[in-house]
Structure 1
Amino acid sequence: MMRITIRPFQEVRLLARPSRILRPFSSAARTLGTAETDTSVSSSSTASSSSRIGRISESLIRPSPTPHVSATEDKTTVSWPDGRTTTFDNYFLFDHCRCPKCFHSKTKQRLKELNQIPDDIRPVAVEVDNSGVHLSWSTSEEHKSTFPFEFLRRSAYDPPLSSYRDATEGRVLWNSKIAQSPPSVVYEDIIRSDDEALKSERAILKLLNRVHDFGFCFVNNVPATPEKTQELIEKIAPIRHTHYGGFWEFTADQSHGDLAYSNEGLPCHTDTTYFTDPAGLQIFHLLSHPSPPGTGGTTLLVDGFYTASLLSTLYPTSYSLLSRLRIPAHASGTEGTMLRPPLSQPAFRHDEKGQLTQVRWNNEDRGVLGQGWSAEEVKGWYQAARRYDELNKSEDAEYWVQLGPGTMLVIDNWRVMHGRSAFTGARQMCGAYVGADDWSSRRTALTKKHEIRKKSILDDDWSVGW
């Protein structure tokens, strides 16, 4: 079982590239009970690699660009000046050739089919210079590929060069002390005149970077009207339409069969677990809640990645079960709507590198468990879920904030859970969903355009497809 290391959270500094994550408080470990002594993980579990939550990449090593490269009939080996060696299957390298015959530089798409690659493809000549590795191939027609060193470092798989696995770079795990300095931007920086479009884009990128880093961000000074709120959201990314509509306004009128449309308190949860592809961003703006006479309605935020990191450290077997066992979810309270994804998913989902990518946690929308599970897995899942629920409801994890008109809240729904306390009085909210792919694409495109974060040393053709 891989273990994460997390530094204690003392304060948040809103840096362009935050570089720290949190270590579970020792007091929290004592309060929450004794950690499991059995750290075994089922061979079918993903948690042996998936418990690498929020891992910050090692300092990038920049060796001189003169590795030694050799090739055989099956593989090509790169020996780096720092002493490391990586091996590539020849088929893999030829498949990733980005010469004009193989890759369209305008559309950034492959032009070569897999069945066009000979089974016995191999380099017949190898050259190395400052621009990279040049391979001439054993094809009937002359074919030469050039691979930049940075591509070979980043794509290495046998073994992987972990120094270049930086997908979670900048992520900051947080707890209740985020209240000391929560991430925020201001409305006026985003909504600008047409002749200040570049400044507006930089402000949007600043917002999305903070959502990426912290899982949420406030936008202050937003005019308290539905029209201006919708304009702001559409400036950030396309609104996702669902059975709730696109941009929505709601009060506690039960117009939809969902507890959000009531005045009851809601425990922390992620939204739309009943979608095959849950919403990426959840965006709220409290337009009005006169107080008095209204009371309550305080917003709750919990960093699901932070509490998952605690679970991984304290109860690794429980983390494994929540990473492996698939939980059905449904939305059946609105007439004419019966949502139940054909593919159920576990509470914790991980990317191809084993890093935690998504938390799907909604007790209210959870369906009937146990299909295809063993009796031991049913019992184990309930124990794991209770432990995770306890961590989420701890004083250490809960960040409570009273929203008011003029403050829009943007939440990464794949990471940060939200809830609220019960309320009285007339409370009017508006907001929208944004797809995960849409806001990620917007952030990546703006980063590339404005080069605010680490500039890639790969050229345009080689910087895509990761």
Structure 2
Amino acid sequence: MGIIEKSAHKTTIQRTETSQIRMERQALDGKSTTEYRTFQCVNQDTKQRNVDTFQLREEDLKVVDFKETEDKLHVNWSDGHESQHPLSYLSCWFKGAYAEEFGKDHTIRLWDSSIEAHPPSVPYNQFFVDHGWEAIDAPVYPESTEDLLKRLGPIRNTHYGGFYDFTPDLAMADTAYTNLALPAHTDTTYFTEPAGLQAFHCLSHEPAPGEALEEGESLGGESLLVDGFKAAITLRKENPWAFKTLAQVELPWHASGNVGISISPDKVYPVIEQEGGGHLKRIRWNNDDRGAVNPYDAKNWYAAARVWNEILRRKENEYWFKLEPGKIVIFNNWRVLHGRSAFKGIRRICGAYIPYDDFVSCYRVTNTPGGRVAGRSYNNRARMGFGRGKNYKEITEAPKQEAHVIEKS
């Protein structure tokens, strides 16, 4: 084992197996430890580990020498192996930091009803994710819509089928297959992993045969989008108690309206899901598909849910627009809630669900230079904040004092 002593912290480097390194930065107050791993000794074709971790004895793996150059940490091991670790990669494991050369997947941009002035719209062959949704120009054919969606990831098959093309005929026992108004909600809350992306393309909307509209009368059917992340952040600022309640109280979700269908997730889930560091991960909200709240939590949950519902329905948070033929609206179902007003006539909608992981994979591969895709995934982990870590500044500016010896088994 080698140790580098510095004025305010010490760095301990220990080889744990041929394909990874553990590097511990411990402040002299003994309070913080951070671990790192490198891209070493992997199969270059499959990008999988070549080494049987459990055939290696930790006591046989010793650091012989190491040095720090301008951009790398070089480590020589007792078995003759030499490893190189980019300093930017090691630094990305500090809470809030990331390796610049790998980049980030995207930047979250919150929005509200004012987005009507400049809605995000891109050509047929482009797609962006910062707002959580886009309106994409496309030919008015279901085949063109399906082709575009398959370029974003494989279409997810559900009890609704794969690529859907429907009118309000109640072919499925779901209010989506009616002409009723729908409040802002997310889809497939009853899946263990709700659909990642969702797409709608209005192919046509016409009066029903024999139906005539009066002068100035509209068919209705305006679409609604709400930024769930903005609503959650507003809730956290205005009512921390309500936010905490909706993030902690877990609910049963279900889909059982169709014959032969009874779907519920692997466990109960809260309305607001967070990841490390308090970052928002997913909104799961459809009051129509929600089961009964635990009686012990019901009073608090309903009080918090009323506050949440009021925020979702604020005019400044609602973006209303008309789905038009030739515009595919695609949105992140983990973030953006959607709904609609009631309508008359026959409206034909097509679209599909795309699994979130598959879309992110497609996005990284097409937007990340070769060889840096894995590094970007580590950046996302660093963004969450390493659970036991601290900011680099906190560590390097720790008070000078005796270091506590921490033994690890």
TM class by shorter-chain length? 0.7 to 0.9
Q: Which of 241, 254, 260 is equivalent to 1:317?
A: 241
Q: Cα distance, 1:106 vs. partner?
A: 2.5
Name the CA distance, whole Å, in 2 between partners of 1:405 and 1:459. Answer: 39
Which residue of structure 1 aligns with residue 154 of structure 2? 238
Q: Which amino acid aligns with 2:85?
A: F
Q: Do residues 176 (structure 1) and 113 (structure 2) align? A: yes
Q: Which of 356, 365, 369 is equivalent to 1:436?
A: 356
Name the CA distance, whole Å, in 2 between partners of 1:248 and 1:228. Answer: 13
SS in structure 1 of the partner of residue 288 of structure 2: coil
Q: Do residues 142 (structure 1) and 80 (structure 2) align? A: yes
TM-score (norm 1): 0.69
SS in structure 1 of the partner of residue 80 of structure 2: coil
Q: Do residues 185 (structure 1) and 122 (structure 2) align? A: yes
Q: Cα distance, 1:164 vs. partner?
A: 6.1
Which residue of structure 1 aligns with residue 403 of structure 2? none
Which residue of structure 1 aligns with residue 405 of structure 2? none
Name the CA distance, whole Å, in 2 between partners of 1:245 and 1:345. Answer: 25
For the 8 Å contact 1:98–1:145, the answer to whether it is kept is no
For the 8 Å contact 2:105–2:376, the answer to whether it is kept is no
Name the CA distance, whole Å, in 2 between partners of 1:438 and 1:284. Answer: 19
Q: Which of 49, 70, 73 is equivalent to 1:130?
A: 70
> Which one is further off, 293-302 or 263-272?
293-302
Q: Gaps (5+ residues) in structure 2?
A: 1-7, 16-21, 380-409
Q: 1:332 to 1:463 in 2, by over 3 A?
A: closer
TM alignment of 1:192-203, pairs within 5 A: 203=126
Q: Which amino acid aligns with 1:134?
A: H
TM alignment of 1:3-402, pairs within 5 A: 70-71=11-12, 76=23, 92-93=35-36, 96-100=37-41, 103-120=42-59, 122-137=62-77, 139=78, 141-156=79-94, 160-162=95-97, 169-187=106-124, 190=125, 203=126, 207=127, 209=128, 212-220=129-137, 222-290=138-206, 293=213, 295-370=219-294, 375=296, 377-402=297-322
Name the CA distance, whole Å, in 1 between partners of 2:108 and 2:367. Answer: 16
TM-score (norm 2): 0.78
Name the CA distance, whole Å, in 2 between partners of 1:113 and 1:87. Answer: 30
- Give the superposed CA RMSD: 3.0
Q: Which amino acid aligns with 2:114?
A: K
Which residue of structure 2 aligns with residue 14 of structure 1? none
SS in structure 2 of the partner of residue 126 of structure 1: strand
**Which structure exhibits the higher relative contact order, with contacts defined as CA atoms closer than 8 Å and separated by 6 or more residues?**
2
Q: Deviations over 1:74-122 (max 9, x none)?
A: 9856699xxxx99767xx55xx34333xx22332222334424534555
SS in structure 2 of the partner of residue 218 of structure 1: strand
Which residue of structure 2 aligns with residue 419 of structure 1? 339
For the 8 Å contact 1:69–1:76, the answer to whether it is kept is no
Q: Deviations over 1:128-158 (max 9, x none)?
A: 1124112233x5x2233221101111023xx
Q: Deviations over 1:404-456 (max 9, x none)?
A: 1111110110000000001111111111111101111111111114x9xxxxx
State percent identity of aligned pairs: 36
Q: How many residues align?
A: 353
Q: Cα distance, 1:237 vs. partner?
A: 2.5
For the 8 Å contact 1:72–1:122, the answer to whether it is kept is no
For the 8 Å contact 1:108–1:461, the answer to whether it is kept is no
Q: 1:113 to 1:464 in 2, by over 3 A?
A: farther
For the 8 Å contact 1:78–1:86, the answer to whether it is kept is no
Larger radius of gyration: 2
Q: Deviations over 1:250-295 (max 9, x none)?
A: 1111110110001110000000001111111110011111256461
Q: Gaps (5+ residues) in structure 1?
A: 1-66, 191-202, 452-457
Name the CA distance, whole Å, in 2 between partners of 1:227 and 1:415. Answer: 27
Which residue of structure 2 aligns with residue 50 of structure 1? none
